[in-house]
Amino acid sequence: MRSRCGRRAFRASPIRCVGERIMATGVPEFREVAWRACAYFKLRKEKGINYDMAYDIMTDVSYFGTMMVHLNHADGMVSGAVHTTQHTIRPAFQIIKTKPGTSIAEVSQLLSS
């Protein structure tokens, strides 16, 4: 099975992803998710992620926001008000990762009433 982020056009989807260039039709939201899904697929394909899985994952706000930070489309992200700590942190470990040789990461939380 060929990936949808490869050299060939998609058959089931209206987008084509070749390298960093994406051709998409439809609403802007689809284009934004598709572009980031392609980037996520390239980062995680060795872990068994296919393009369809990457697209579904990028529809999640935590993954979408983390990918924006990773691609320098945002300086940071605020999360956790309605999501668990695990749901907020997992995308960062999968996409941004830790510095090579680092085995400990720290999380900080601010609570206000």
Residue 8 within any structural domain of the chain: no
52 in Cβ contact with 43 (< 8 Å): no
Q: What is the pLDDT of residues 61-107, one digit of tens each?
A: 889 889 989 999 888 888 877 888 888 889 999 999 888 888 887 77
Domain that holds residue 57: 15-95
* Predicted TM-score of the model (pTM): 0.68
The answer to the question of residue 3 being in a domain is: no
Question: Does residue 34 belong to any structural domain of this protein?
Answer: yes
Q: Residue 66: what residue type?
A: T
Q: Mind listing the pLDDT tens digit for each residue in 10-69?
A: 344 445 555 555 554 444 477 788 889 999 999 999 999 999 999 999 988 889 889 989
Kind plus residue range of the DSSP H or E element containing 15: strand 15-18
Provide the number of structural domains found in the chain: 1
Q: What is the enclosing helix (H) or strand (E) of 21?
A: strand 21-24
Q: Which CATH number fits the domain that encloses residue 58?
A: 3.40.50.10950
Q: What is the distance, to the nearest Å, from the Cα of residue 11 to the centroid of all Cα atoms in its chain?
A: 22
